[in-house]
Structure 1
Amino acid sequence: MQNSGKRWFIAVMATLVHLCLGTVYAWSFFQKTVSETFGWSNSETAWAFSLAIFMLGVTASWGGQNLQKFGPRKLALIGAFLYAFGYIISYFALQNESLWLLYFGYGIVGGIGLGLAYVTPVATVSKWFPDKQGLITGMVVMGFGLGALLMSKLLAPIFLEYFEKDLAKTFLAIGITLLVLLPFFANFLNLPTEEKSTEISAEKLSATKEILSLNFIFIWLIFMFNVVAGMIFISFQSPLLQDLLKAENVNIDTATLEKSGATLIAISALFNGLGRFFWGSISDKLGRVTTFRLLLLIEMGVFASLIFIKSPILFSVGVCLILLNYGGGFGVLPSLIKDFFGTKLMPIVYGAALTAWGVGGILGPQITAYMKDHFSEDAGLYAYKVALVLIALGIGLSFFVKNKKEAQ
């Protein structure tokens, strides 16, 4: 029964899947505490998050190619279990102070789970809502952006308080919670009957040709630069804010610093989530490439301003604006891919485009981590300058994208 009620129910379930997966975006909540507790450098600690995002991008590409073969429910369920197990393995890693086990659990196992479970809700609702592409894909990926709010203001604080700041037990409790919630939501994902195609090989061949085109390469680079810009803050917004607060008030206590960092993560998560919905809807009116160009221009202005800003409040405003536009990139991308490469190729090409997320997920956190380890007081300043250069390149490349289906 493919009625309107059913497709909206599937859209809600897809959004809840993304809400749970998006808890990975609260990594900066743990970054400083994990680094200081176990004596690992910022760069060493951040690699757990970088690996998770890299594996997400790579696995999402594979998932997009095999969505019709295995079906969204099976891929989403496997991904849900793996992401939850990533936290459970991380419990053993932190319990035994093993950085490499943390990389394996949170980074590789959890990242693979993220990739399998991420691509399926977006591709699924895209097929259920051919009439509301920007709106519906923006709504679903909005859930992912809001995941950091769920983690930073609910799951992590509750479990940290209950287990008296024991990080290992907190990760275990989070893993068990996700093990219950994620499979339940993922179980409802399925494609419309008419979309269960058997011409998979031909579609893969055609998609490969498109993926090797200059158009796709330019889109991939633009999206990757936008990811780097957002990851600079997603991975380190809490430590960067705490640095500014300490510079303003050297006597501020640790608990206040941590609470302020968690609050910024939660608020910026709202902007990240709303940006996906807002810019996705705007792109239905302005066009996909024009929208991407506009949000990159806004990011450029914010990063240029942040170079001169020392106020924690203005810094927080800047973070929220960057994540509004970072999320916007994810809200626009699915519709852009569908407009450029067609409905049938959308899952495969979209999955390939998400490898840019994986690359940006390494570059963004590692740029900031390197600056924190080597230029502690001016870490943000140098990171913002790198972001400015990359965003400027993205804006330039946007003028070389040749849209096949909409006027520029």
Structure 2
Amino acid sequence: MRARPRALVALMALAALVLGLLTAAPAHAAGTATISGTITGPGGAPLVGVSTLHIQLQEDAEDWWLDAQDVTLGAGETDYEFSGLGFGLYRIVVEASGGDYAARTLSDAFWTDPPSPLTFDVALTAGAAVSGEVTSPDGSIPSVPVTVEAQRYDLQDAEDWVTEGAQQLAAGESAFEIRNLPADDDYRIRLVPDDPYVVSYSEGFTLEPGWHLSGVGLSLSLPATVSGTIVGDPKDPTSSFLRVYRMSRGTWRWLRDVELGRHPTVFEVTGLPSGTYRLGIDRCFTKNYYSAAFELASGESETGVAITTPKSCAQATTLKAAVTPGKRKAKFSVTVSAKGVLRSRIDGKVHIVRKGKTLATATVRQGKATLKIAHQKPGTKTYRIVYKGSVFAKPATKKIKVRIK
């Protein structure tokens, strides 16, 4: 058996040494980080009265926060640790039970830089509270059960308002108090009563950490109704929903959508609580049109509300044509466009006309049509391209000279 060259033996020994070092390397060298810290009260004070802490680590994923890891700590436990983290943007969410803290505290966002460990302490926010009284429309104590919800305005939530705390009132109860609310946000109270009353809302208000807003008076509402007409182009296909807006602290807040069906000219909306309203509708490429503002009292019916929209949604049309002449014939490739209108919405009929006679007709699909004419005498002739128009595009005509072979 032949002996191996000394250089080859040395190279194999070096490779084995490197492999051994890589295998024995610590876990953080693989590109992960660890974050740990302590949960405290405001200003770093020790926690008081907390029974459990649920700690979530969330990672930013294209402007959305996704849960990455979580841990639950019992009474007296305040230290947490998360490991195996890659490079990214994170935040800590702490849900606290017990004490006078907000039920949920969000930390500032922070970056991890593996394999460097990170220490990140989180101070709980002082909770806010709101209290008051619920009455019937006549001022008496409600005779039906009522759920009182404290809702926070949240732009990241699809419904905009998120319930942060609630209290169930039995029939014959009127006083409520909701505590441990996350603060530094706008709130409203939502009342969910049994029949015959409808869901209703308070005016908006702001809560700061540690605040207690007291003396809030809320009244149940019987269902109110509004009806009226929609003035405009009844053929507009973009008007199948009516939007209901309610005034809160000087701002119009969306309340609900009401499906109207195709080509509506009249509407009726029922089951509304008392308040200041306006109605809106999308017409002509999702442009918004609104009614005048109106007041609804508990159980009231408002009629004759009008929403005025354009008589026609058709926009100015531009015609372009490419002509391929042949022997006693020609092919017209026509493009139809309208200002601000998607090509997919442009349809209708287009014609080739000469001396008042229609020589060819074609259907416009996604703004395009092809027309052919035949049996034409040789020479240069003038033809008219005539577009008849559609819901979104006005009628248009274009003259074009063609040399027939």
Alignment TM class, shorter chain as reference: under 0.3
Report the structure, 1 or 2, having the larger helix content.
1
Q: Which has the higher contact order (CA 8 A, sep 6+)?
A: 1
For normalisation by structure 2, the TM-score amounts to 0.19
Q: Give the number of the structure whose alpha-carbon radius of gyration is greater.
A: 2
Task: Flag the structure with higher strand content.
Answer: 2
Q: What is the TM-score normalised by the length of structure 1?
A: 0.19
